[in-house]
Amino acid sequence: MINNKLMEKFAELTVKIGVNVQKDQWVFVNSSTETKELAREIVKQAYLAGAKKVTVNWNDDYVSKYGYIHKSEETLKDVPKWRIDKMKAFVDEGGCAISITSPIPDLNKDVDPMKLQTSGIATRRALSFYYDHMMGSKSQWVVIAAPNAAWAKKVFPKLDQEAAIDALWDAILEASRVTLENDPIAEWNEHNKKMLAHNEILNNYNFETLYFKNNLGTDISVKLVDNHIWAGGGELTPGKILFNPNIPTEENFTMPHKHGVNGKVVSTKPLNYQGKLIEDFWLIFKDGKVVDFDAKVNKDALENLLKFDEGSSYLGEIALISYDSPISNSGILFYNTLFDENASCHMALGRAYSINIVDGTSMSLDELYEKGYNHSMAHSDFMFGSKDLSVTGKTKDGKEVVVFKDGNFVI
């Protein structure tokens, strides 16, 4: 079990560096029943940081599974008005959101995929105003993680349950830069400085196109939108409040042009989507759209993602992470995007972030579309980085620059 002092330090980091709670701000905590101890400590730390009120939105993946099995598709389409009203109040009051992820791998493997799809689409449509608000960084938000028994056993199958949970806690805290001896807040301030410096290097190159290639079969070109911005580490709200949307994070990411992706990309880690692990898959893009795909495991889940809406078969994000990085070097496959995406270069199917283009957060959707922005109710990261990945950038004047060699940054 996690040491009480470590729990307190992790919660304080989440509140102060993750969402940077402001005095008299409303804080939402989204937590599974599997992570109630951490949620309680976060509530306490939020109040100590000056929160006006803290609301915990509890969920339980097993309860949700029973709903998918027994509810009709018509019922799954119904998003109650009280839920919509609550999220509208949150947006109107400028609240900040803390989400604790604790996946139960393959829990929904036997659930009718159409029911999962129906529920997901209905929720995204009804709460689109909330997702637009958060993905535009108009309020602070952060995603962190805490273990559960099923996830821990998936990551550490050779350990007994208690030992596996302890090992997963150790891995999560190490990746999040939290130890008994250190000052996590000070370490994150330094980490953010390094991330921002790397963003500046990439922004100064102002690449037109990135080319990716490895021996697994990835051979793909990704055009970037004009006036794109590389981001990673801390982000700013319109009110200039600094926050960190992911703990941990190692990525520098930007916006690909919706219609500028061509070639094949091969995954290097599983993708957990709708409670199903999609494994050993590849995608072929033509003029930005996925035109062919396959997966050895849970191909139906991948197909659901690609058919979620018009934008989910296009890219919304391209992210660079060195193979020689802390989470990658741990050698742990987390089966969780929050961690695995920070061990590998990745792309995201679905919605782009408006922060990744100059003045994007103040543009209308039509203005963003003209720039090459991809809009979708989905946003799912998948990993394709490898030890032998090469990345070459081409500038607007035709100059070619080696960005990655043997899986790592060289600029």
* pLDDT single digits (tens) 178-196: 999 999 999 999 999 999 9
Residue whose entry in the numeric block shows the structure tokens 């008005």? 81
- Single-letter residue type at 112: D
| Mean pLDDT of the region 66-79 | 96
CB 163 within 8 A of CB 121: no
Task: Check whether 2 has a pLDDT greater than 90.
Answer: no
Give a three-class secondary structure readout of 31-62. Answer: EEHHHHHHHHHHHHHHHHCCCCEEEEEEECHH
For β-strands 53-59 and 26-32, DSSP reports them as parallel
If you classify domain 4-175 with CATH, what class do you get?
A: alpha beta
| Mean pLDDT of the region 189-204 | 94
Question: What's the pLDDT score for residue 179?
Answer: 95
For β-strands 271-273 and 276-286, DSSP reports them as antiparallel
Every domain of the chain with CATH number 3.40.1830.10 lies at 4-175
- Single-letter residue type at 121: I
| Mean pLDDT of the region 251-259 | 97
Task: Check whether 275 has a pLDDT greater than 90.
Answer: no
How many Å apart are CA 117 and CA 326, to the nearest integer?
Answer: 35
| Mean pLDDT of the region 321-333 | 92
Question: What's the pLDDT score for residue 240?
Answer: 94
Which tokens go with 287?
């003029």
Task: Check whether 316 has a pLDDT greater than 90.
Answer: yes
How many Å apart are CA 168 and CA 147, to the nearest integer?
Answer: 6
- Single-letter residue type at 13: L
Which tokens go with 383?
């990993």
Q: Is 397 exposed, middle or buried (0-12, 13-18, 19+ CB in 10 A)?
A: exposed
How many CA atoms within 13 Å lie on the side-chain side of 297? Answer: 13
332-350, pLDDT tens digit by residue?
999 998 999 899 999 999 9
Closest C-alpha among 162, 177, 172 to residue 100 = 172
How many CA atoms within 13 Å lie on the side-chain side of 294? Answer: 2
Within 8 A by CB and 6+ apart from 264, the residues are 217, 218, 219, 220, 282, 283, 284, 285
Which tokens go with 229?
């911005």
Task: Check whether 226 has a pLDDT greater than 80.
Answer: yes
How many Å apart are CA 360 and CA 363, to the nearest integer?
Answer: 5
Question: What's the pLDDT score for residue 320?
Answer: 97
395-407, pLDDT tens digit by residue?
999 999 999 999 9
138-182, pLDDT tens digit by residue?
999 999 999 999 999 999 999 999 999 999 999 999 999 999 999
| Mean pLDDT of the region 226-250 | 95
375 DSSP assignment: -
- pTM exceeds 0.85 for this model: yes
Question: What's the pLDDT score for residue 1?
Answer: 74
Task: Check whether 258 has a pLDDT greater than 90.
Answer: yes
103-146, pLDDT tens digit by residue?
998 899 899 989 999 999 999 999 999 999 998 899 999 999 99
Question: What's the pLDDT score for residue 278?
Answer: 95
Residue whose entry in the numeric block shows the structure tokens 């709670």? 21
Look at the alpha carbons of 242, 245, 250, 256 in this order and tell me if their dihedral is positive or negative.
negative
| Mean pLDDT of the region 52-62 | 97
* Neighbouring C-beta atoms of residue 81, cutoff 10 Å: 9
Task: Check whether 248 has a pLDDT greater than 90.
Answer: yes
| Mean pLDDT of the region 206-216 | 98
Percent of the chain with pLDDT over 70: 100
Could you tell me which residues are beta bridge partners of residue 372? none
